[in-house]
């Protein structure tokens, strides 16, 4: 399972990198979102999958899944959400101001 | 901390106090307050002189600074340090006194700046000559460069001052960096930054067996040559003459430019005896000597003459130290070292007084151009008397001290040229010839300085001011120096036991214990040296009489040193080149910056994998995959791969949403209920947000993507995916092979007893790491504020954030 997940992460990273390198603002934002997904999945995978019960003490299991990566990923999801929302609105505003979402046209003057 | 430590720090403390004194006692010239410090230091240092049964016992006094790295504020006072420290404080006292009358206490004159920089320089210079630790020397060394640049640019409203300051800074600091590298190489060889320990270490080993000795020597010499204005680095010194004359007299003739010579003298016990050391220093010194004296002849500015004269005299002293380093093989060369030390003192006295005289002429007539000056002999009799002493000493005429050291210089050159080591017999015959020609030109520029300024016709119409004798205050310092020229000339043995001999012991450690060793006197009989001097006077006068014919040659029409073109061109080229590089690199395109980062990451991670052989694979211990997981994963991969190909905005947003929900599903499978919940919630909100932003904006909706397939992008993205996959595999394998135990056991055990919660993830978030979560909320709040501002903010035309 871990091997499969790591391969999935590889695919996610490849695609998100490709999206980051495109011209369209929306795709860059989507790429960032996918990259954070990839990071979360990799983190969880490396901590070990399906080892023990969910980290709830009420289960009274012999062993639990590692709670620490889960806590970190949870934080990351929320922060990622904030960042993505901000980026979205930023690109929306950029589009309204400059009437384009092509990053090539958004660059500043050549000799600054 | 001993008194000597405080002695180094005292000028810095004074520098801190100067601005307050300047503000507090505005009507009194700040210089009067500053004057006391160098005077006290000078008198204190005099007490160390080995006279009247007093002996100088050098020892290293250490105050730990960064002991783990071997960097300590260590003071070492031997004959050489004492000589320099006396020069620094002694000339310093006279210069401060002179500056009080030279720079008037006017409203727009930033006197506080001047004295702060001057005190900073004095402290740094004392630090250079008194420290035993190479790193401390380096720090003080760069401080002197900085202070020098600040003082050159004292009248910073003048374009030329700024140019000169920048030039001196660039050249000396470049040399300083090279020197630092040399010091580090020495540390690699010896394992110590202490000069005395390095000398002791080098005394035990065979120098030729160490590979790094020659590179270290070359780098240190680069530092010394740039600081002491040796050819071809001398070009900064003439431009440094834009500084106020007291500064030129102090930094650019008596002390700072001699720091390089100090360094060479200090390292003579380390490298002395190496043929490379001998040849490099001697040849650069002699080249500088002749180049400086010839260039001085064609100057029309009095300070320009003095600048090139200083360059040539520095070359002379440098060459003497080079020649004298042969004493480690054959002690007949010792006379060169004695001459070097003696001339060092003499040069400080006569050149200091001449600079001050030129300052007086400039101050009282308003010009330093020898084409405008003339006939000042009867108008400024005292100034005239001082300069005739200084000039005669510089030209090497008896009975002044310059004559004595010039004779010794000839002796040293002749003696070393006759030696039979280092292949001297091949090129050594050039030494006396170069020395003699340079002395002829030295004599010529001395004549020019003297006759063009003080004799001839007085031309008041060309001068800005009515010329008259200087006030007594301006005259005191040059009078003191000129009388020293006479005293040292008549009684040279005043110096030989008190100052020259201890310094000689420091440069040539094997002479320690040989006391009353040096005897300097005027009359040696009719020997080669005397005839050389007579020849210099005769030929020099001949050249001077026929100077008119010389001056018509093209050589004389170019006053500026031709090497300046190299510097100016190099600097312009550097600026233009770096601009070009920056423009290529900084395209203003986000994509290019991403490419730089990713390629760098690829190279770094790939190299690390390769270098540390970190690649591992382990496909065992894999938990089984149920059929529905296959389906979820494959759908996830397929959706992901399809995104770059989707042409429609809304479709791609939905596809990304699908990925998010699939990952939430995976979280469920992987025993992470909280993650799944959060992910579901966030994903829902996110899709809504995406759609709000792009779907509900009519002008956006119809625009389609035009994905341009780019091969490089594909390669980079696949590379990134591959490297992350490899990273994942290796980490996974390492986890099993190295058998880590996770650190989270603490949370499993303590969730209930310490925090009273059953959900460990929640407990970590809100209890164990509660503060982090609080700040996370803050981040969200800031993001929310930013979003509101971006949507609501309305700006008028031309307005900026």
Look at the block and give the residue holding tokens 């000559």: B129
> What is the least distance, in Å, from the CA of B291 to any CA of chain A?
44
Q: Identify the bridge partners of residue B61 per DSSP, sorted by sequence position.
A: B75
pLDDT at B799: 61
For an interface test with A, give the residue of B724, B784, B798 to mutate (most A CBs within 10 A): B724
How far A19 CA sits from the closest chain B CA (Å)?
Answer: 7
Judged by a CB distance cut-off of 8 A, whether residue B669 touches chain A is yes
| B785 and B652 inside one domain | no
Mutate to test the interface with A, among B578, B592, B640, B737 (most CBs of A within 10 A): B640
How far away is chain A from the Cα of B639, in angstroms, using its nearest Cα? Answer: 10
Question: Are residues B470 and B341 both part of a single domain?
Answer: yes
Q: Kindly determine whether residue A71 and residue B765, on different chains, have CB atoms separated by under 8 Å.
A: yes
Q: Has residue B174 got a pLDDT over 90?
A: yes
User: Under DSSP, is residue B486 helix (H, G, I), strand (E, B) or coil?
Assistant: helix
A67 with B598: Cβ contact below 8 A = no
Radius of gyration of chain A (CA): 19
A61 touches chain B (CB under 8 A): no
Q: Verify that B455 and B363 share a domain, yes or no.
A: yes
B738 inside 8 A of chain A by CB: no
Question: Is B558 part of any domain?
Answer: no
CA A19 from centre of chain = 13
Query: Measured over all CA atoms, what is the biggest interatomic distance in chain B, rounded to whole angstroms?
Result: 114
The answer to whether B775 touches B769, Cβ cutoff 8 Å, is: no
Q: Is B194 among the domain residues?
A: no
Interface contact A22-B707, CB threshold 8 A: yes
Nearest CB to B675 within list A51, A70, A103: A70
Q: Is the pLDDT of residue B684 over 50?
A: yes
Residues whose CB is less than 8 angstroms from the CB of residue A95 and which lie 6 or more positions away in sequence, other chains included? A25, A101, B697, B700
Residue of chain B whose Cα is closest to the Cα of A28:
B591
Q: Is the pLDDT of residue B701 over 60?
A: no
| Dihedral of the alpha carbons of B546, B549, B555, B557, in degrees to the nearest 10 | 110
- Of residues B675, B732, B783, nearest to A46 (C-beta): B732
Q: What is the least distance, in Å, from the CA of A26 to any CA of chain B?
A: 8
- Asked whether residue B704 carries a pLDDT value surpassing 50, the answer given is no
Q: Give the closest of B721, B729, B742 to A11, CB-based.
A: B721
Question: What DSSP element (H or E) covers B75?
Answer: strand B71-76
The verdict on a CB contact (< 8 Å) between A83 and B783 is yes
What is the tally of helices (H) and strands (E) in chain B? Answer: 34, 2
Residue B19 lies in a domain: no
β-strand partners of B653: none
At B422 the pLDDT is 75
B349 & B441 share domain: yes
SS3 label, residue B469: coil
B105 touches chain A (CB under 8 A): no
Within-domain flag for B52: no
CA-CA-CA-CA torsion sign (B471, B473, B476, B477)? negative
Work out the mean pLDDT of chain B and round it to a whole number. 86
Q: Are residues B770 and B716 in the same domain?
A: no
Token pair 């026929």 is at which residue? B546
Residues B457 and B374: beta-carbon distance below 8 Å: yes
Count the Cβ atoms, other than its own, within 10 Å of residue B330. 13
Looking at residue B307, what is its pLDDT? Answer: 92
Is the domain of B309 the same as that of B408?
yes
Q: Is residue B501 part of a domain?
A: yes
Q: Would the CB atoms of B686 and A18 count as touching at under 8 Å?
A: no
| Residues 28-57 in A contacting B (C-alpha not used; CB under 8 Å) | 28, 30, 33-34, 37-38, 40-42, 44-57
* Same domain assignment for residues B794 and B718: no
Are B724 and B765 found together in one domain? no
Average pLDDT over residues B266-295: 90
Question: Which pLDDT belongs to residue B506?
Answer: 87
Is the model more confident about B700 or about B610? B610
Residue B588 has pLDDT above 80, yes or no: no
Q: Which residues of B touch A10 (CB under 8 A)?
A: 721-722, 724-725, 728
* Confidence bin at B177 (pLDDT 50/70/90): very high
> Are B659 and B734 in the same domain?
yes
C-alpha B784/C-alpha B792 separation (Å) is: 12
Task: Answer with the one of B552, B581, B607 that is the final residue of a domain.
Answer: B552
The answer on B425 and B285 residing in a single domain is: yes
Average pLDDT (B255-284) is 90
CA-nearest residue of chain B to A42? Answer: B728
Q: What is the per-residue pLDDT for B90? A: 93
Binding-face residues of A in 83-112 toward B, CB within 8 A: 83-86, 88-93, 95, 101, 103-104, 107-112
Calculated CA dihedral for residues B153, B155, B158, B163, nearest 10 degrees: -10
Of B134, B176, B148, which is closest to residue B237 (Cα–Cα)?
B148
Q: Is A76 on the interface with B (CB under 8 A)?
A: no
User: Per the structure block, which two tokens stand in for B494?
Assistant: 């005043």
Q: Which residues of A touch B686 (CB under 8 A)?
A: 33, 81, 84-85
Cα–Cα distance for residue pair B446/B448, rounded to 1 Å: 5
Which among A1, A54, A103 has the least Cβ separation from residue B625? A1
Domain total of chain B = 3
ipTM above 0.95, yes or no: no
Residues of B in contact with A8 (CB under 8 A): 633, 636-637
Residue B438 to residue B316: CA distance in whole angstroms: 9
Q: Calculate ∠ Cα B124-B130-B131, nearest 5°.
A: 85
Search chain B and give the residue with CA nearest A74.
B675
> Cβ–Cβ of B747/A50 closer than 8 Å?
no
Q: Which domain holds residue B775?
A: 751-801
Q: pLDDT tens digit string along B155-166?
A: 888 888 999 999
Which residues pair with residue B131 across a beta bridge?
B75
End-to-end CA separation in angstroms for chain A: 51
Is A26 within 8 Å of B649 when comparing Cβ atoms?
yes
- Taking the C-alpha atoms of residue B429 and residue B434, their distance in angstroms, rounded to an integer, is 9
Tokens of B762: 């929640």
pLDDT for the residue B559: 64
Residues B742 and B758 in one domain: no
Residues ≥6 apart with Cβ < 8 Å to B678: A74, A77, A78
**Cα first-last separation, chain B:** 55
Lowest mean pLDDT among B345-349, B615-619, B664-668, B706-710: B706-710
Interface contact flag, A23 B690, Cβ < 8 Å: no
Q: Is residue B639 part of a domain?
A: yes
Instruction: Tell me how far apart the alpha carbons of residues A23 and A39 are, in angstroms, rounded to a whole number.
Output: 23
Asked whether the beta carbons of residue B640 and residue A34 sit closer than 8 angstroms, the reply is yes
Say what the pLDDT of residue A112 is: 41
pLDDT recorded at residue B554? 63
Residue B60 phi, psi dihedral angles, 5° rounding = -85, 125
Instruction: Quote the pLDDT of residue A110.
Output: 47
B713 and B777 fall within a common domain: no
Report chain A's mean pLDDT, rounded to a whole number: 83
What's the pLDDT at B53? Answer: 66
Q: Give the rounded distance of the alpha carbon of B609 from its chain centre.
A: 39
State the DSSP H helix or E strand holding residue B40, giving kind and residue range, or none if neither. Answer: helix B31-46
Q: Tally Cβ neighbours within 10 Å of residue B190.
A: 19
Contact call for A71 and B710, based on CB within 8 A: no
Q: Which of A47-51, B225-229, B596-600 has the lowest mean pLDDT?
A: A47-51
On whether residue B662 sits in a domain, the answer given is yes
Cβ contact, residue pair A75, B731, below 8 Å: no
Residue A100: CB atoms within 10 A of its CB come to: 13
C-alpha angle B124/B127/B130, rounded to 5°?
155
| pLDDT at B718 (0 to 100) | 92
A62 and B CB contact within 8 Å: no
Distance from the A97 Cα atom to the nearest Cα atom in chain B, whole angstroms: 10
What is the per-residue pLDDT for B355? Answer: 92
User: What chain A residue is nearest to B757 in terms of C-alpha separation?
Assistant: A57
User: Residue B522 in contact with residue B490, Cβ under 8 Å?
Assistant: no
Q: Does B589 sit within 8 Å of A107, measured CB to CB?
A: yes
Mention every residue, 6+ apart, whose C-beta is less than 8 A from residue B448.
B297, B305, B370, B544, B547
Q: Which residue from B378, B389, B352 is spatially nearest to B478, judged by alpha carbons?
A: B352
CA distance B410 to B335: 10
Cβ separation B619–A95 shorter than 8 A: no
Question: A-chain residues within 8 Å CB-CB of B786?
Answer: 86, 89
- Note the pLDDT tens digit of each residue in B470-521: 888 888 899 999 999 999 888 888 888 888 888 888 888 887 777 667 777 7
Residue B651 lies in a domain: yes
Q: How far apart are CA B658 and CA B636, in angstroms?
A: 8
Which of residues B552, B578, B613 is at a domain's end?
B552
Residue B133: which residues within 8 A CB-CB, separation 6 or more?
A: B70, B71, B72, B73, B74, B193, B194, B195
Our measurement of the distance from residue B559's CA atom to the centroid of its chain's CA atoms, rounded to an integer in Å, reads 29
Highest mean pLDDT (candidates B351-360, B557-566, B608-617): B351-360
Contact B139, B119 (CB under 8 A): no
Would you give the DSSP letter of residue B756?
Answer: -
pLDDT of amino acid B573: 93
Cβ-contact A13, B602 below 8 angstroms: no
Candidates A28, A75, A90, A108: best to mutate against B (most CBs of B within 10 A) is A75
Residue B710 has pLDDT above 50, yes or no: yes
Report residue B700's pLDDT band, with 50, 70 and 90 as the boundaries: very low
Mutation for B interface: A7, A85, A93, A108, most B CBs within 10 A: A85
Q: Which residue of B has its CA nearest to A106?
A: B589
The token duo for B146 is 């900085």
pLDDT at A10: 93
DSSP secondary structure of B59-73: -EEEEEEEGGGTEEE
Give whichever of B90-99, B332-341, B364-373 has the largest mean pLDDT. B90-99
Q: Which domains, from first to last, does chain A contain?
A: 2-51+64-103 (1.10.287)
């Amino acid at each position: 399972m871990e091997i499969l997940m790591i391969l999935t992460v590889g695919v996610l990273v490849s695609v998100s990198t490709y999206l980051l390198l495109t011209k369209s603002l929306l795709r860059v934002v989507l790429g960032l979102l996918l990259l954070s997904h990839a990071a979360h999945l990799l983190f969880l995978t490396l901590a070990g999958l399906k080892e023990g019960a969910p980290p709830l003490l009420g289960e009274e299991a012999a062993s639990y899944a590692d709670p620490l990566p889960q806590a970190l990923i949870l934080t990351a999801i929320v922060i990622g959400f904030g960042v993505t929302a901000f980026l979205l609105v930023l690109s929306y505003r950029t589009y309204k101001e400059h009437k384009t979402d092509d990053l090539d046209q958004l660059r500043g003057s050549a000799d600054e | 901390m001993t008194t000597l430590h405080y002695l180094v720090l005292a000028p810095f403390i004074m520098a801190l106090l100067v601005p307050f004194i300047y503000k507090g006692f505005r009507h009194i010239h700040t210089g009067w307050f500053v004057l006391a410090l160098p005077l006290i230091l000078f008198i204190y240092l005099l007490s160390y002189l080995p006279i009247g049964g007093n002996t100088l016992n050098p020892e290293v006094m250490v105050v730990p600074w960064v002991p783990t790295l071997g960097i300590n504020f260590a003071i070492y006072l031997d004959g050489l340090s004492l000589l320099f420290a006396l020069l620094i404080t002694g000339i310093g006292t006279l210069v401060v006194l002179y500056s009080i009358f030279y720079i008037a206490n006017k409203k727009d004159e930033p006197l506080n700046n001047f004295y702060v920089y001057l005190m900073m320089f004095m402290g740094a210079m004392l630090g250079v000559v008194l420290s035993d630790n190479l790193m401390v020397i380096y720090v003080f060394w760069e401080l002197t460069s900085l202070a020098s640049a600040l003082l050159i640019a004292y009248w910073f409203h003048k374009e030329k001052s700024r140019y000169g300051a920048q030039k001196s800074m660039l050249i000396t600091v470049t040399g300083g960096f090279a020197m630092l590298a040399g010091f580090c190489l020495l540390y690699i060889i010896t394992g110590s930054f202490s000069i005395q320990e390095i000398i002791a270490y080098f005394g035990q080993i065979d120098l030729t067996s160490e590979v790094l000795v020659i590179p270290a020597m070359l780098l240190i010499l680069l530092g010394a040559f740039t600081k002491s204005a040796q050819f071809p680095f001398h070009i900064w010194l003439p431009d440094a003459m834009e500084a106020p004359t007291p500064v030129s007299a102090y930094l650019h003739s008596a002390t700072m430019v001699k720091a390089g010579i100090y360094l060479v003298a200090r390292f003579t016990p380390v490298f002395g005896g190496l043929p490379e050391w001998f040849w490099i220093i001697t040849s650069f010194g002699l080249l500088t000597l002749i180049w400086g004296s010839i260039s001085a002849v064609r100057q029309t500015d009095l300070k320009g003459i003095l600048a090139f004269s200083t360059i040539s005299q520095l070359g002379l002293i440098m060459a003497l130290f080079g020649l004298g380093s042969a004493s480690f093989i054959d002690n007949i060369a010792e006379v060169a070292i004695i001459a070097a030390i003696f001339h060092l003192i003499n040069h400080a006295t006569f050149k200091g007084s001449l600079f001050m005289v030129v300052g007086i002429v400039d101050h009282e007539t308003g010009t330093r151009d020898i084409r405008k000056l003339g006939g000042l002999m009867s108008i400024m009799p005292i100034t005239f008397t001082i300069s005739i002493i200084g000039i005669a000493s510089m030209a090497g005429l008896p009975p002044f001290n310059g004559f004595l050291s010039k004779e010794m210089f000839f002796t040293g050159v002749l003696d070393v040229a006759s030696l039979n080591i280092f292949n001297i017999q091949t090129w050594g015959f050039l030494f006396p010839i170069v020395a003699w020609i340079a002395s002829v030109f030295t004599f010529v520029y001395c004549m020019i300085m003297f006759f063009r300024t003080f004799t001839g016709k007085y031309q008041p119409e060309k001068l800005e001011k009515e010329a008259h004798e200087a006030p007594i205050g301006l005259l005191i310092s040059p009078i003191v120096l000129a009388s020293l020229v006479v005293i040292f000339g008549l009684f040279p043995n005043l110096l030989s036991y008190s100052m020259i001999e201890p310094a000689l012991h420091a440069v040539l450690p094997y002479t320690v214990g040989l006391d009353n060793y040096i005897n300097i006197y005027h009359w040696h009989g009719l020997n080669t040296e005397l005839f050389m001097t007579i020849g210099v006077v005769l030929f020099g006068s001949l050249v001077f009489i026929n100077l008119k014919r010389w001056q018509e040659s093209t050589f004389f029409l170019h006053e500026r040193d031709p090497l300046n073109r190299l510097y100016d061109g190099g600097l312009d080229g550097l600026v233009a080149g770096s601009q070009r590089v920056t423009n290529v690199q900084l395209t203003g395109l986000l994509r290019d910056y991403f490419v730089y980062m990713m390629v760098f990451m690829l190279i770094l991670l790939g190299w690390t994998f390769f270098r540390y052989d970190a690649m591992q694979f382990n496909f065992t211990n894999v938990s089984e995959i149920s059929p529905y997981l296959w389906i979820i994963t494959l759908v996830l991969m397929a959706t992901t791969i399809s995104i770059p190909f989707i042409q429609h905005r809304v479709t791609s947003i939905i596809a990304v949403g699908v990925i998010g929900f699939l990952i939430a599903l995976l979280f469920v499978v992987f025993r992470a209920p909280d993650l799944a919940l959060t992910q579901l919630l966030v994903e829902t909100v996110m899709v809504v947000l995406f759609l709000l932003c792009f779907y509900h904006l009519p002008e956006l909706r119809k625009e389609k993507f035009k994905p341009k397939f780019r091969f490089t992008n594909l390669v980079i993205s696949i590379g990134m995916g591959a490297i992350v996959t490899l990273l994942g595999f290796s980490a996974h394998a390492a986890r099993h092979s190295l058998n880590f135990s996770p650190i989270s056991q603490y949370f499993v055990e303590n969730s209930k007893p310490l925090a009273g919660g059953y959900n460990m993830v929640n407990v970590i978030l809100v209890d164990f790491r509660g503060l982090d979560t609080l700040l996370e909320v803050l981040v969200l709040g800031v993001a929310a504020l930013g979003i509101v501002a971006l949507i609501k903010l309305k700006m008028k035309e031309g307005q900026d954030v």
